[in-house]
Structure 1
């Protein structure tokens, strides 16, 4: 009979990996260790923190308790007690229905970075939200971070408050603010000389501008000239901007059917700009779920965008195509794949 080999000890994680998993900032973890003695059992070379599964379980319990409103000092006292698995449940029985407690967001199968961001947002932990967003954008790139981390979290927040009355709106506002701030930190590459811009705007009455902010940042990264007009641009101002800038494309965002103004889309599609004898048209691209099935008849020249990545490809093809002029025909066909995370859900 062969002797039984000893099992290797469970892998320990560094502070950064634990912070991403729990949705807190590394600074918060170090603060908890210093103030409440919630720290790792082991350090490599006496300096680098290495968190074992037991350490992480205690941190998870502390995060759950603080999310439920327990003061950090009391949450730490409970977490430092017996092994977390042996503790009596602190939250009501409803917690069992949703992993992470009744306040947790339902996310489905998502990246760990998404779960961490959601946990931080629900706790209203602004420093952690800011740090997690910066990390996701730096490590994954803008497009992947938007489609696989930011948009799913915004969707989940939107579903949560829609099903909970007026609750969780503060979570949506905080998360939206820090997402917008993170997107505004992207510095666009220098614009090519004499290249017509892409004009981005939300329809009148539409306040949800985050998807257009993400698109503006992504176009800027690609050195594509962009003019971003943000939320709820009045119809007359939009038409005047088209005439003044002669854009290669106009992207109109509508989050809901109530803000998807088909009459305005027809007006924009018919605008001509440029000197007499050399009039041009802009490609009209409609983005957002508001333009979906059941919306009023749209102009023949308008095309739909689906998701940030495929939308960027469409816009790049429009910009790279023949210059719009008097002989401009229908706008180039868009990608026809299934709708991606086009709506931010905020």
Structure 2
């Protein structure tokens, strides 16, 4: 479920300058109201204010609250977690950062957006409301493409790697995050009206392929652009796919395969050969294959099929089928 498929851009390093409460909340995957409550109750918060009484968090402030989040995620009561965080930060402000590299529970995120770090931390805590809030704000602020490439996909990758190296420990984290990402992608975030009268794009996973999230991300990006789509999801049987193509008469068919074991070139040939329309004016679909399961070229026995690489490039290529 959590495989991401589309390659993403280079990552941005986290901001180390003084941050607002909202920025710290996004980085840590907690609500701003939670940070303000911890400050009032336990004295763990930014030490300085700017003109106008705006709170600004320094790196030392963030270290303290990071430790607070880590301890509460382990089940330590908030009051005790705050005392420990304040005591450790007072002796060595960089202790929590050093611990992050040796803590077996830390996720291998690398240099990512603060929203990605916050999303991953909320998922590890199984804090569903925080996960949903983080996804909602990221999609609203940045749109689907950036949200997927720079926040959702890196978090899913990190949790998947942690799952692979930790046995079954992170299965529940991966499932929770995948479900919320899927739900968020299906909401009409900034969706434009579909182009009237245009034949839609049919998107489906090949038979036996269960990894749908990258295809859901592409569907959401196309929705932002007003491209009409018909999404069929996971493991659509070959006969059903062929029938859907003939009934819909799509402008294009996108076939997703995450694994080489599921990438079926005979299916590509079948879909490419589908036709509809009156005799003498038959129409065939543009067939596009996507996902790491396909080799760079579909092969000579699948004429007309084109491989898509990258979410942005895929959306641009499909969008070119719908000139203004």
In which range does the TM-score fall when normalised by the shorter chain? 0.7 to 0.9
Match of 1:22 among 24, 28, 42: 28
Matched, 1:256 2:262: no
Decide whether aligned partners of structure 1 residues 178 and 193 sit closer, same or farther in structure 2, where only a CA change above 3 A counts. Answer: same
Superposed counterparts of 1:76-95, under 5 Å: 76-86=82-92
What corresponds to 1:40 in structure 2? 46
Counterpart of 1:132 in structure 2 is 134
Flag the 1:46–1:191 CA change in 2: closer, same or farther, 3 A.
Answer: closer
Instruction: Map 1:90-239; keep pairs closer than 5 Å.
Output: 99=101, 101-186=103-188, 188-239=191-242
CA contact (8 A) 1:57 1:84 kept: no
Runs of 5+ in structure 1 lacking a partner?
1-9, 322-346
1:265 and 2:271 correspond? no
The 1:74/1:100 distance shift into structure 2, 3 A limit, reads farther
TM-score (norm 2): 0.84
Which one scores higher on RCO, CA 8 angstroms, separation ≥ 6? 2
Distance 1:185 1:282, change over 3 A: same
User: SS in structure 2 opposite 1:312?
Assistant: helix
Task: Report the CA distance between 1:120 and its aligned residue.
Answer: 2.0
1:241 is aligned to 244
1:127-166 per-position Cα deviation (integer Å, ceiling 9, x unaligned): 2222222222222221122112211221222222122222
Supply the RMSD in Å over aligned alpha carbons.
2.9
Distance 2:17 2:314 in 1: 41
> Cα deviation per residue 1:200-252 (whole Å; 9 max; x = unaligned)?
11112222111111111111111111111111212211111100110010001
More deviation in 136-145 or 43-52? 43-52
Separation (CA, whole Å) in 2 of partners of 1:97 and 1:275: 69
Q: How far 1:195 sits from its partner (Å)?
A: 0.5
SS of 1:318's partner is coil
Q: Deviations over 1:92-147 (max 9, x none)?
A: xxx96852732222123322322222222222222222222222222222112211
Q: In structure 2, what is the equivalent of residue 70 of structure 1?
A: 76
Q: Name the CA distance, whole Å, in 2 between partners of 1:294 and 1:189.
A: 33
Paired residues of 2:68 and 2:81 also in contact (CA < 8 A) = yes
Name the CA shift for 1:102/1:235 in 2 (closer, same or farther; >3 Å): same
Larger Rg: 1
Unaligned runs of 5+ in 2: 1-15
Question: CA–CA distance in 1 between the matches of 2:99 and 2:121?
Answer: 17
Aligned-partner Cα distance in 2 for 1:298–1:319: 28
Q: Is the 8 A contact 1:14 1:51 kept in 2?
A: yes
- Do the aligned residues in 2 keep the contact of 1:62 with 1:72 (CA within 8 Å)? yes
Q: Aligned partners of 1:287, 1:298: CA distance in 2, in Å?
A: 17
Question: In 1, Cα distance between the equivalents of 2:282 and 2:316?
Answer: 26
Which residue of the other structure, out of 293, 301, 304, is the alignment partner of 1:301? Answer: 304
Q: What is the DSSP-based 3-state SS (H/G/I as helix, E as strand, rest coil) of the residue aligned with 2:255?
A: strand
